[in-house]
Amino acid sequence: MRKAFDHNNRTKRRRLGASVFDREDDSDDTDTALTASSVPNSEQHTVAGRVPISVSKNCQSSWKPRFLPGSEQEEANSALRKSDHDSEAPLQETEGSSGQSGDSEEEDDYMKMQISDSPLQDSRDITYSERRRNRERNQYQKSRPLAPQEAQRQKLKQSLDTPIISVSDNEKDDERGSSSNIALGIMKKMGFVPGKTLGRSSGPQTSIEPIRPNLKYDRNGIGMDTAQRALLHQATEAKRQEDDLQNQNYSDFITTKHTEKHISAQVLAAQKVCRELDIADRPELELVYYSSDLKGATVPRLRDINYLWRELVINDRDAAQEALLRKMIMERLETIEEVTKGGSESDKQAAAQIEQGSDNEEEEDGDNDNENNAEYEAFVDMSPAEKLEKVTEYMRTTYNYCFWCGCRYESAGDLAENCPGNAEIYH
Amino acid sequence: MSEEHANKRVKIMEKNGSNPYLAHMDDESADYTSSAPSRRIDPSNGGSSLFDGFARHKTTVEQASRAEDGPLNPFTERSFSEKYFTILEKRRELPVHLQRAEFLETFHKTQIMVFVGETGSGKTTQIPQFVLYDDLPQQEGKMVACTQPRRVAAMSVAKRVADELDVRLGEEVGYSIRFEDKTSNKTILKYMTDGMLLREAMNDPNLDRYSCIMLDEAHERTLATDILMGLLKEIALRRPDLKIIIMSATLDAQKFQKYFHDAPLLAVPGRTHPVEIYYTPEYQRDYLEAAIQTVLQIHATEAPGDILLFLTGEEEIEDACRKISLEADELLRETDCGQLVVYPLYGSLPPNQQQKIFDPAPGPRVKGGPPGRKIVISTNIAETSLTIDGIVYVIDPGFSKQKVYNPRIRVESLLVAPISKASAQQRAGRAGRTRPGKCFRLYTEDAFKKELNEQSYPEILRSNLSSTVLELKKLGIDDLVHFDFMDPPAPETMMRALEELNYLGCLDDDGNLTALGRLASDFPLDPMLAVMLITSPEFYCSNEILSLTALLSVPNVFVRPNNARKAADEMKNTFKHIEGDHLTLLNVYHAFKSPEAQYNPSQWCYDHFLSLRSLQSADSVRMQLKRIMERNDLDLVSTPFEDVNYFTNIRRALTSGFFMQVAKKAPNGKHYVTVKDAQDVLLHPSTVLEKEGEWVVYNEFVLTTKNYIRTVTVIKPEWLFELAPAYFDVQTFKKGDVRMSLERVLQKMQIARERAEKRARALKDGKSKSRYT
């Protein structure tokens, strides 16, 4: 039962948040004050002084009833001429503030009550395994023997839900007994039409449905069931919306991830084609890969490489460097095992070599003229889609090559004529 | 049943008839010793009547007042008693009296009128008298009838009005209720239950013996009142001389007006004080707990005045009484507020305890201290049928127990359900009977507006209609489907009723009344009971079935006081018959009729934890039914008690009426299953049945937290095929345990039959052989 001003409840609410509690506290104060002040109001009441004692005792021990005067007493009690509307009744509460006070607690209680083990899900959103698990759970529930009382109620409900006069013609009344047909036959002979009401004048409120027995198994007050149903509805609705939102986000995320991956792969492919085309055009560029071995004058500097595929070279170099490093470390380990002392010299050398290598590179990079480098950096920062656009566009304009068609056209005109356009979707 | 005892000590006389329903409870002696029974003039001897100058349906208020002023009673021509004039004075203060002229005007003008008078207006007692002075039924050799939904009301109002007219009850003014007729050939005003008028209509289709019919408390919409309204609407066309007044206590009388072709309406305000209504700011999780706390708070903080709390049933009321008493004791120890006394009030409460509610509240404990307070915790008995003086505070949790029938499960049960707005209003009104009061509703105003129905469902929508359909058939209404119901019942309910009557053999397959049906309609009983009673001579046990029928028609005969449950159960066991509760009931009745018990019945009942009231009324019901049986040439027979079949015959007769209420034990042996509707049920804890037979008949299906069958007796499945082959057509049963068991029984019967035939043949052969050898 609800104990509006019970201390336990108050602590419970306190946990819910300061604002709720503050308001709660206020209304509590007014309430006590009101009850106390109201006592002298009833003049003949000689126990005025003592009443607050009992009230405060009540306050601590149990629920204290509070009432609001009916707003439409005239309507509620038509014949009773209401004499004094404003006379303050001892039990009267001033404001609706305390009326709202319980809400937070209700929600709290309600959240505890709700067991959402099977959140509402759209069937198409669940995976096969989930569906299978659901099915298994349902089967289990069906096969599990119900508690006798539960079984009773379920059967009762089922019977109450099954009309015994079927409106449609494909009657299955035989299940319900042959005399039903006899009885129905008698009624039909009197002019009864299934689906219609009896009587001469069917008013608006006449129903063909029999009145349902109200099976009340608790002592919930009037309005409680409705209020809880509304809350439950609200909460499931909110939960579903939240779930929807999450599902939405996830699928979006997955899609973008896929497309990005796809485009990145295409960028890589396009860069490779671009490299081939460039090298075919200027074969000396290929030497960039052998720079470390051939210390010749013709070795192209990194900055001379087309920024569109410079990434590839850098990545390849990084990979090669790393492989070299790993190889040297492995070798060094072997030397450590063979030579205990003398090896340290070669180690140092190797390390120096590696460092030198990287130093060289830095130097080289440092030599790059800023313009070219800026172009490259801008390119690296681009999104894959933009990169792709840039690379393919370069190939089209420079080599009349269409990445999507996978071939080189004779001329720009040929390309414009025969290639549907620079995008995957056109191909 | 209960109300009549609740009210024995109402101070009606000094209180200006504040509760006319209770008048019959007053001492008979006080009434007539004072009036001189002499000087009786026979009105038929041609002497001048005191009604000279009165023209039927043209009288005036002045004429009537002069006649009322005496000195001779125009109806009896005896001089009025002194008491008469005291009452007359008070009567003329009643609100209806102010509108007597208006009433007469409307009454003269129309055949059918609707009269609305709120509680306390005096309509039930005064309007029939206004009619008497204008309609003068004695001149036409007819009567004026006024129907009441409750037996108690009919009895007590008749008593009160007899006093007001200064005549002897049962002479000019009488009453007629089921199993009791207190009228004579002098009777000109007859109070009766609506059910009785309906029964009369079965043998007097035009209700020719009445010149005016008043349907009182029509707003209660009882089954009989609803049917009567449909009938009267038709009779009014056939009998233009018949005046009809529909009396209602609530303002929704437009519905009646519309139903009766826009009949004129006359409304009289009630005499009540204003009642302030309070709602809780939020819904309650436990209305009982909330009610208890409200009682305590009212006691602690409100001005003196008694409290009336409405709860749903005996158990709940007793529970609340205990809790409030405990809390009140504590309050008394810790503070010095006044004493709090708690009285329960419900139907099955013994009369002497019911009377206590009329005790005044206790005074202050110390001189000058706060006065004590009385609290009455009641079912909805206190909502309409009786008034307790001094009630200032009403607590209304918003629930009551209501009868509901559902044709889909064929169960009629009392269930806790929210009350209607009209009911809530009626409850609130109880706080304003003596002075301005307050009503505390344990729900929000929002819930009041949205959750409660405007009106309670009329009884016709909540009842099993098999009796009603039988009555309508007897009344000659062939087209039940288009009968002018004010609120038509669900078609399924009608179908179930027809079905039940068809199985019982009361209606043939074309829906015509059979001889059995005609006979059954003669008994004021449920068709199943009637058929059982009618067929009982075939089983040589009509005496016993007659007793049993009577016992099943009265409230529970067993008393089980809270403080002596064990002793009561032990005592009940001494009457136990191992084959079931019906036979146990018979044992009780036979013991009650023994000379030992009859020597001092009330002591004997007290010692044996039995209800004297129930047993006595069973006795009187038995007498009435016996008369009807004799009238219809039904033999009253018994199997000799020594016969082994004595109890078997009774059980077979029982089965022949109750074959539609059979349950079979479920395969797991833990519960029973009703055979046709396949509902899981448990034997009610009150049963004496121990060995729990496989098949049982039951008297009642009770829907509570669990489904129970109450009053059960073991039967043999073979009887079902013998006694009700149409109902037990195995093909119509759903596949399952019940059907399989029935099929097994059939097989067994078949084998037994074949074996018997073989044996007979063998015997015959043997005989013939022996003859030849």
ipTM of the complex: 0.79
Cα separation of B260 and B300, whole Å?
51
Q: Which residues of B touch A162 (CB under 8 A)?
A: 408
Helices (H), A190-289: 224-281
The reply to whether A427 touches chain B by the CB within 8 Å rule is no
**Residues of B in Cβ contact (< 8 Å) with A72:** 445
Strands (E), A297-389: none
**What parts of chain A have a pLDDT lower than 50?**
1-62, 73-123, 169-178, 343, 358-369
Distance CA A59, CA B740 (A): 62
Give the pLDDT confidence score for residue B76 in this predicted structure: 84
Q: Using CB atoms and an 8 Å cut-off, which of residues 150-179 of chain A contact chain B?
A: 151-152, 155-156, 159-160, 162-165, 174-179
The per-residue pLDDT of chain B, averaged, comes to 86
pLDDT in tens, B319-337: 999 999 998 888 888 877 7
pLDDT (0 to 100) of residue B591? 94
Query: In chain B, what are the helix, strand and coil shares in percent, each to the nearest 5?
Result: 45, 15, 35
pTM: 0.69
Write the pLDDT tens digit of every residue in B602-620. Answer: 999 999 999 998 999 899 9
Spatial separation of the C-alpha atoms in residues B103 and B267, rounded to whole Å? 9
What is the rounded CA–CA span in Å between residue A240 and residue B46?
Answer: 92
Instruction: Inspect the interface and report whether the beta carbons of A221 and B397 lie closer than 8 Å.
Output: yes
The CA distance from A198 to B488, in Å, is 5
Q: With contacts defined as CB-CB under 8 Å, which chain B residues touch A63? A: 289-290, 293
- For residue B369, what is the nearest residue in chain A, using CA coordinates? A46
Mean pLDDT check: name the lowest of A32-36, B249-253, B605-609, B743-747. A32-36
Q: Is B401 helix (H, G, I), strand (E, B) or coil?
A: strand
| pLDDT (average), residues B110-133 | 88
Q: How far is B604 from chain A (nearest CA, A)?
A: 39
Mark out the alpha helices in B33-122 (DSSP H runs).
Answer: 61-68, 82-91, 95-98, 100-109
In Å, what is the CA distance from A308 to each residue of A75, A273, A280, A323, B79?
A: 85, 11, 16, 25, 132
**pLDDT of res. A79:** 38
Cα gap B498→B495, rounded to integer Å = 5
How far from each other are the two terminal CA atoms of chain B, in whole angstroms? Answer: 75
Range 266-295 of A in CB contact (< 8 A) with B: none
Separation between Cα atoms, residue A40 and residue A115, nearest integer Å: 49
User: What residues of B are in contact with residue A92 (Cβ under 8 Å)?
Assistant: 278
Residues of chain B contacting A209 with CB distance shorter than 8 Å: 490
Beta bridge partners of A68: B279
At B730, the pLDDT band (50, 70, 90 cuts) reads: confident
- Count of CB pairs separated by less than 8 Å, A with B: 349
Helix or strand or coil: residue B135?
A: helix
Chain A interface includes B281 (CB < 8 A)? yes
pLDDT tens across B426-469, in order?
899 889 888 899 999 999 999 999 889 888 889 999 999 999 99
Q: Where are the beta strands (DSSP E) in B119-254?
A: 143-148, 173-177, 180-182, 189-193, 210-215, 243-248
B373-390: average pLDDT: 83
> In the structure, what pLDDT confidence band is assigned to residue B772 with cuts at 50, 70 and 90?
low
Which one has a higher pLDDT value, B16 or A262?
Answer: A262
Tell me the nearest-neighbour CA distance from B452 into chain A, angstroms: 9
The candidate with the shortest Cα–Cα distance to B430, out of B442, B420, B440, B418, is: B440
Rg for chain A, CA atoms, rounded: 43
Over 50: is that where the pLDDT of B3 sits? Answer: no
Closest CA to B149 of B220, B198, B197: B220
Residue with tokens 């489907």: B481
**Distance between CA atoms of residues B666 and B661, nearest Å:** 16
* Record: contact B732-A177, CB cut-off 8 A: yes
**Contact residues, chain A, for B304 at CB < 8 Å:** 44
**B276–A contact, CB cutoff 8 A:** yes
Picking from A67, A215, A219, the nearest residue to B278 by CB comes out as A67
CA distances from B557 to B596, B603, B711 (A): 18, 15, 12
Contact between B303 and A45 using a beta-carbon 8 Å cutoff: yes
Q: Give the chain B residue nearest A216 (alpha carbons).
A: B416
Q: What average pLDDT score do residues B234-252 get?
A: 88
**H-helix or E-strand containing B8?**
none
CB contact under 8 A, A91 and B678: no
Give the model's pLDDT for residue A145. 65
**In 10 A of CB B501, how many CB atoms?**
30
Q: Is B512 exposed, middle or buried (0-12, 13-18, 19+ CB in 10 A)?
A: exposed
CA-nearest of B167, B160, B155, B233 to B196 is B155
Q: Which amino acid is at A240?
A: R
CB B697 within 8 A of CB B658: yes
Q: What span, in angstroms and rounded, lies between the C-alpha atoms of B326 and B448?
A: 31
Establish if B735 touches chain A: CB-CB under 8 angstroms.
Answer: no
Instruction: Judge whether residue B379 has pLDDT over 70.
Output: yes
Q: Touching check for B226 and chain A: CB below 8 Å?
A: no
Q: Please answer whether residues B116 and B90 qualify as being in contact, where contact means their C-beta atoms are separated by less than 8 angstroms.
A: no
3-state secondary structure of B505: coil
The nearest CA of chain A is from the CA of B655 a distance in Å of 19
Answer yes or no: do A179 and B726 touch at CB < 8 A: yes
Contact B680 A148 (CB under 8 A): yes
Q: What CA–CA distance (Å, rounded) separates B234 from B273?
A: 40
Distances (CA, A) of B319 to A205, B116, B311, B322, B343: 38, 38, 10, 5, 12
Distance from C-alpha of A201 to C-alpha of B482, rounded to nearest angstrom: 9
Give B662 or B34, the one with higher predicted confidence.
B662
Residues of B in contact with A102 (CB under 8 A): 281-282
Q: Residue B210 above 60 pLDDT? A: yes
Least confident of B38-42, B109-113, B160-164, B449-453: B38-42
B418–A222 CB contact, under 8 Å:
yes
